Structure 1
């Protein structure tokens, strides 16, 4: 059977009008019903496009020139193409509309819950400089150290990106200062191919509420050359720095952090607050990168949980206890479970730091721990889940259904897997009452949502 021809061919140049956006923020235009996905194009715009790929049912294009511009187009604050902020060319209003539609569409098409209210997305008052952490690769060019994110789909460093529109401005200042002093005192960059050199990454973390900063030098070697000079110069220039740490990663790997961490100067932790809860943050702690919107997200999760002083709550995928400790302020008892032992250690320490004694934390896979808890007689009133992008494991969804909490609060960073899991929970006897999207990552296509589910009463 002859292969069906597509309306366009690779490398062909065409004129296209854009009608819609994909969930990744690409413009969608059609040639005789055949969709082409084009980055940096907005609905209502027209332009000249080069076809870069033509599959059987859809293709991809590159925008060469705009002939008609959308009023929603804005000038990007950053022109470095690292692939992190794909939505900078669209107004913040359009970004929020796109994310709102994404959540609505999956609720309708995947979860088949078109009647469930999806509330207007909660955006940021200032959608720039919101990130509290950067991990930036270090390379070498013409004998000089360079720092910058990797170009999209490559390991080529976009050199000396000294400002990033979504990073905190103190962090933006510290990275080039650290690079400059490391370069001046003769530190060599790590080379992936030869597995030689010293400095792999510079990581900077900041507590927004406290203004405390941690600088982490990730090295291949156990020794950091002339560390006394680095410490002296950085701490003198940036009094916000409370901790300088070295992490040793001597493996041939793309994983950033190694197993060994040592404090070179100052404290092992910096601190931050979300609401009334204080968190200790180490070099390897998992901590939300947008603390302003984290407070918004967790406040909504707490509202949906509707817990009182008699309720037993389970927080699955609890991380360092961020949601758990919020819940513990209202609940009788909170049990947190997480597969990463270091995160559980941090959760226990954060509970102690805040004087919270009604939260217990356990290392394990949620889908295995839940049935064991049930066998021990634990019957939670509310379960809160905040899984990774792949969503909940099927075994865990089944364990939740069999545990029969009166209420489930599902916090998600991936609308597609959220909708898939909601369908399973609905079929298992739960009713989705409301969905609240939250913009945790402005200028990027990612969107979070928190959902409230109630157990249906038996007839």
Structure 2
């Protein structure tokens, strides 16, 4: 049988009509049934496209010239090429539609759960300037300090990210000021090729409800030149700074924060509120970056959990206790488990901060701790799980279903792994009831979801 070849060749220029979007927001056009994925192209558009890569079953291209323009195309607020906000060229309405379809497709094609309602995605009124945390690499150009984001698939810094439209505007100002002061004081940027220099990253966190600011300076060296002057000038420029932290990372690594941190000035924590609850946030705390939508997400998780005053709840991947403490307001008892000891310390601090005495927190792997709890006679009514993008380990899914809770509430930042895990839980005696997408990351292809599963009583 003759070997099938693609109908296009690399570097060929073609005219292409676009009919769909990938889950990353790339336009999809077809030549004789062969799909080409092209960034910055929208359904309904026609463009001159250069083919840049050809695989057996699909290829990639780039737009040279738009011939027909979609009414959903808008002028991006930001024209930088850092690829952090790959959807800025499409209307917010289309962004939400794309994410809604992404979740629906995952439920259909991966979970095979076409019957499960995927509710209309909850978007933002203003989908800009929502991030309360950023981590910005520092470099040098012509002897001057520069800050920015790495260009996609490279370590070349794209400058001027103090204009980034997803950041809280205060954060942009703080990063600019840190760079200016550090440059004036002669603090050298880290050079990853030579493993030399001092300042690697600038991290800034803000409390949305409190306006408190934390600045984390990630350095290669323990010594930070002229730190007293830097602290004085920075706190003088921003009186809301409550914490300046140094994170020492002397390794050749892409990991941003080092294992050692020390407080240079102020407190170890800043504070924020979600609803009626207060949270202490340290340099290493996992805390959702979109405060407005976090409240929406957690309210939905609480609604799905349907907790009564006599219910016992387990929160797997509890982090610093954000969801746990929401649950504890309604439950008889909440047990949180998390593998990161510092997070559990923060969770205990946050429970005390809010006067919550019916939440207990444990360090460990949830898939190992939960079978031990079961052996001790713990029978939860509800389990809430909020795993990282890779989803749940299958052993954890087995541990959850073996405990037999009435409901499982799954909070997910990746529809594909959510769908995979829901399928496993379906096969272990649970039924997926509904899924609610929430847009936590406007201008990007990411989408958060809350899913409800109920035990099938046989």
Q: Tell me the TM-score normalized by structure 1.
A: 0.99
1:233 has 2:240 as partner: no
Q: Which residue of 1 aligns with 2:100?
A: 100
1:424 has 2:427 as partner: no
Q: Which residue of 2 aligns with 1:159?
A: 159
Q: Which residue of 2 aligns with 1:49?
A: 49
| Runs of 4+ that moved beyond 6 A | none
| Alpha-carbon shift at residue 52 of structure 1 (Å) | 0.6
Q: Which residue of 1 aligns with 2:13?
A: 13
Which string of whole-angstrom CA distances, capped at 9 and with x for unpartnered residues, describes residues 360-404 of structure 1? 111111111111110010000000011111111111111111111
Q: Which residue of 2 aligns with 1:70?
A: 70
Which string of whole-angstrom CA distances, capped at 9 and with x for unpartnered residues, describes residues 229-263 of structure 1? 11111111111211111111111111111111111
Please list every run of 5 or more consecutive structure 2 residues that lacks an aligned counterpart in the other structure: none
Q: Which residue of 2 aligns with 1:283?
A: 283
SS of 1:148's equivalent? strand
Which string of whole-angstrom CA distances, capped at 9 and with x for unpartnered residues, describes residues 61-116 of structure 1? 01111001000001111111111101000000000000001111111121111111
Q: Which residue of 1 aligns with 2:205?
A: 205
| Alpha-carbon shift at residue 2 of structure 1 (Å) | 5.0
1:192 has 2:192 as partner: yes
SS of 2:426's equivalent? helix
Which string of whole-angstrom CA distances, capped at 9 and with x for unpartnered residues, describes residues 167-223 of structure 1? 000001111111011001111111111111111111110000000001111111111
Mapped partners of 1:49, 1:114: distance in 2? 35
Q: Which residue of 2 aligns with 1:214?
A: 214
Which string of whole-angstrom CA distances, capped at 9 and with x for unpartnered residues, describes residues 260-296 of structure 1? 1111111111100011110101111111111110100
1:303 has 2:274 as partner: no
1:148 has 2:167 as partner: no
| Alpha-carbon shift at residue 163 of structure 1 (Å) | 1.2
Mapped partners of 1:160, 1:146: distance in 2? 8
SS of 2:187's equivalent? coil
Corresponding pairs, count: 458
1:2-401 correspondence runs (5 A): 2-401=2-401
Mapped partners of 1:106, 1:7: distance in 2? 29
After superposition, the CA RMSD in angstroms is: 0.9
Q: Which residue of 2 aligns with 1:412?
A: 412
Mapped partners of 2:190, 2:2: distance in 1? 52
